[in-house]
Structure 1
């Protein structure tokens, strides 16, 4: 009887050890929640390239999953919850409107790590990350100010949140520096990804005389609309959109998420992950400037590349005074640079931009 007991005990220990070993060999599960389709050619496409980079970096040691086309609504909380229930160890939620749903789900799953893109709310198991897109907008504004012949630059805004307002201001400041006669026309699409709405916005701006169109929306529809109109310049948004080069797309802002996703996944795998707030730009490689095509004059290209270098090295900050607010009140004195707190909450236009920011 004692022998049987010992054998059973030994078997139980063996099963426990085998289970522990199996658990250690389980891949780290990394999930991604996307606002648009992975084939949007812009924002979601680049996040998905980051996901694929994680797979390439870690091989069988990771398993990645994603859900695309998740609205910024109650659907987001349901989708994030389902991903957590499926056993995800780390979940990236990749749109501003996922902020509150991410926090809500994180409270229910304290052992899961969450990373939210472009938000500001953190928790012990929630980190946030974003890119300094406004640095790329400074480059685009410089090129746009030189290229426009009508002196009217169109801008398609998604939602009137600080991230988008920063971009409009940065592009305008730098377009105005090289072309004092420039005007900005802004159309709010109230969507991140809706090709039909984006195309209509681009056409409306072109009808108002814009011969350069910038966008903070995710599809290539504005590029197609500009191509159809002819003689209109555009810039790739979030991704290179190089299929429209050399014209109308003359350069782009590329969001390079791969290094960050690899770094944070590795931290979870090694048990070193901590909640953090990351905001990187050109210098860190999170923001890249796509090829400037030959549709841009050589001297303008040279000026733009010099600006990229100055921003990347920290020599120049895109928000350097003197800059006034739209109502003429002073904001930044000569040589003064904007602090991150003001930029993160930016809710005003700079002097010279016409129109009001919608509520």
Structure 2
């Protein structure tokens, strides 16, 4: 039997107003007056109140990151070149401020500043050779668990796959529930459902153990308070659910929904949150109780999912998605166990996609 020896975020600050602590965190990294920090910030915050609160110094680099499309290896390589062209010195810290995509971008750039070659070279498990630049994650929308995970998910030349490594894990995260106020309802729902689905897949998977179960059950309970009970402290609860959902899969794995969603994201360009929701809605044979509850949440928040998006697609497009989904071996192992390859057939996956 093999045991994971996985890394967790070593430092974290939680609480309303805690974003103000970022300046002190960075002060500890700045040893000389010329030391600079790279701020990678979701461009949705440009011109908004949060922009004026970023503790930017004259020598720092602020980059507005567009995540209208899923993060790609091409985008990461371009951003890395931009940082390297900015100064001959190495940055003392890389800050990711935004949703899961922006946070993954920050993780990936911090890795590529210290590892040679393009980022596509490192898509997979434990391929990163050198420690990353010090990096900090600050979510402004919650659900993905990206702040807690050891992966930065990227669309590459051949597939959508993460830079999975202990070096990917943030050195510091700041979880300030005030930052997620005012997120549009659909985006708030889709991103939060990523956490809900993490929990369902983890709790019903073959890799389940008391570690992942403890985090997953609590995260799931918090999701229900947020999306069914409309709790007055729902922002605080969703932020903790996101973190715990990320922790729940650290010692287990996600499942069928994420495998199917990766195909939707890579081939059709659907963002991870909405892609998960579209996929989950047809997976009642895998997660009957979870899908039923998910549909109650959809109805409560008046969220309407796209329908029939794959029904009439050309066979070759479906084949591309099937190839992506089928390549997610660890996810299917969590669904079916050791004999997963016998059950995850092209025919089975094609039928699922045609129902979407």
The structure with the largest strand share of the pair is 1
Normalised TM-score (structure 2): 0.31
Normalised TM-score (structure 1): 0.31
- Point out the structure with max Rg over C-alpha: 1
